[in-house]
């Protein structure tokens, strides 16, 4: 499993933060705010895999295309960036030695906090 930084998703997240499309919640809120499997399925059905991929900072290019297993490290709820999601993914990325994703999420968190 070779998870790499999804640069398109990072640009999408940065753009949303610039527009103010952010929920400035606390660290522990992500367990309640994260999209459910049903939410994910509904989003994929309505918008497709390319749009789904934009909400995940991690992508495993070795995983099958058009599968949820290809994408990791979500940062939002398909409409807004969640500060708690960015905090959560930064922590998980660092713990699992995904340094490029951890660095990108840290900078994204700084961008959120500056606004």
* Residue-wise DSSP of 69-108: GGEEEE-BSSSSEEHHHHHHHHHHHHHTT-HHHHHHHHHH
Q: What are the backbone dihedrals phi and psi of residue 73, each rounded to the nearest 5 degrees, phi first? A: 65, 65
Enumerate the domain spans of the chain: 4-114
pLDDT tens series, the chain, 115 aa: 689 999 999 999 999 999 999 999 877 888 888 999 999 999 999 999 999 999 999 999 999 999 999 999 999 999 999 999 999 999 999 999 999 999 999 999 999 999 7
Q: What residue has token string 């990791």?
A: 72
pLDDT at res. 1:
63
Q: What is the pTM of this model?
A: 0.94
C-alpha triplet 8, 102, 45: angle, nearest 5°: 40
């Amino acid at each position: 499993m070779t998870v790499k930084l999804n640069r398109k998703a990072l640009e999408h997240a940065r753009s949303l933060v610039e527009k103010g499309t952010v929920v400035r919640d606390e660290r522990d809120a992500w367990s309640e705010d994260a999209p459910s499997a049903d939410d994910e399925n509904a989003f994929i059905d309505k918008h497709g895999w390319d749009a789904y991929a934009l909400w995940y900072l991690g992508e495993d290019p070795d995983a099958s295309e058009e599968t949820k297993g290809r994408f990791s490290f979500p940062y939002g709820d398909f409409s807004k960036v969640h500060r708690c999601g960015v905090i959560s993914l930064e922590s998980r990325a660092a713990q699992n030695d995904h340094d490029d994703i951890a660095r990108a999420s840290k900078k994204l968190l700084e961008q959120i906090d500056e606004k």
